[in-house]
Structure 1
Amino acid sequence: MQQPGTVDEVWPSHAPENYQCPFCDMASGEFAFPDNLCEPGDLVYSDELVLAFIASHGFDPEPGHVLVTPREHFELLYELPDDVAARLMIVTRDMAVAIKRAWHPDGVTTRQHNEPAGSQHVWHYHQHVLPRWNNDGLYFTPKRPIVDPAVRARKAAELRAVLEGGPTRH
């Protein structure tokens, strides 16, 4: 299957000028940026491609969730090379299993945001892995009306056209 873009495609950055990336700071192990809320003790896992650490911001009723992020700076999902994307997913799964075993939540949610309209606020790709409890109200969205099958078929055809005709990834 051909992909809709290449890892060489340039996506506009949303980071402010002179951005001091907290996750790059964490990956370096230097913790040199005074505004970085990450601490060395937050680190859960590290390898040559990714880091997993406890997020500095929590969600009630049970604060403490994991962020999985590439060691190298990539701002958006769209930019990730295949090896990094695959490793991120494997470590995300491993963190979900560790959360289940360590904290015994009723479930686990993963989520990831891209660009301001997608609710991204740290300009380095990261995947949230959150423990969930019944009725915690954290991420509840009521079911939406069923989408008409004709609309779904049109949307699927639009995406297939891009996937079949776009440049391949390298």
Structure 2
Amino acid sequence: MNSDCVFCSLLRDEGAADWIWRGQGASALLPLEDGRLAPGHTLVIADQHAVGVQDVSPAALTQVILLVQQVSVALRDAFGARGVNVLNASGPDSDQSVDHLHFHVVPRWAADGLDTWPGGRSGHRLGTQWPAELRRAVTARQL
């Protein structure tokens, strides 16, 4: 755990958190009230400190994703949410608010007024061979 990380502090029971689930490898809590996008909005965090999906072990990421699914099903069962948005920002250029792996699980209902898809497009450009470069990089990183 990281001594400067707010989520690590909460996992050490240093501070108040509204825990939904404390597990082995991943935990779920409610975000601060002013940060909730919808009733039931839940954060799923890795119990081990890692900044993002690029840094976490496959085993730890598996535990986090399994809890994301568990929370998603619970939101459907408890509140009738027929959809969820699973949101993650990983790394310094992603607008990640807390440098600790976490996913926002946001319940969705018909005509709820939320629009979670980005409205614009990146201005960053890559060369024309980027699909082949990505294929090579993914192949090189096979688990």
**CA offsets 1:20-45 (integer angstroms, 9 cap, x no match):** 322101111132xxxxxxx34x1111
2:132 aligns with one of 146, 150, 157: 157
Q: CA RMSD in A?
A: 2.5
Partner of 1:25: 9
Identity of aligned residues (%): 25
> Do the aligned partners of residues 164 and 120 (structure 1) sit closer, same or farther apart at CA in structure 2, a change above 3 Å counting?
same
Match status 1:66 vs 2:47 = no
The answer to which of 42-51 and 154-163 deviates more is 154-163
2:119, 2:63 → 1: CA distance? 32
> Which structure would you say has the larger Rg?
1
Q: CA deviation at 1:140?
A: 3.9
TM-score, normalised via structure 2 length: 0.79
Q: CA deviation at 1:93?
A: 0.5
Q: Structure 1 unaligned runs (5+)?
A: 1-17, 32-38, 145-150
Partner of 1:86: 62
Partner of 2:116: 139
1:44, 1:97 → 2: CA distance? 14
Partner of 1:45: 21
1:90, 1:162 → 2: CA distance? 26
1:66, 1:72 → 2: CA distance? 18
Contact 1:55 1:64 in 2 (8 A): no
Q: Which amino acid aligns with 2:100?
A: H
Q: Which amino acid aligns with 1:157?
A: A
Q: How many residue pairs align between the two structures?
A: 133
Q: Structure 2 unaligned runs (5+)?
A: 122-127
Q: Which amino acid aligns with 2:36?
A: G
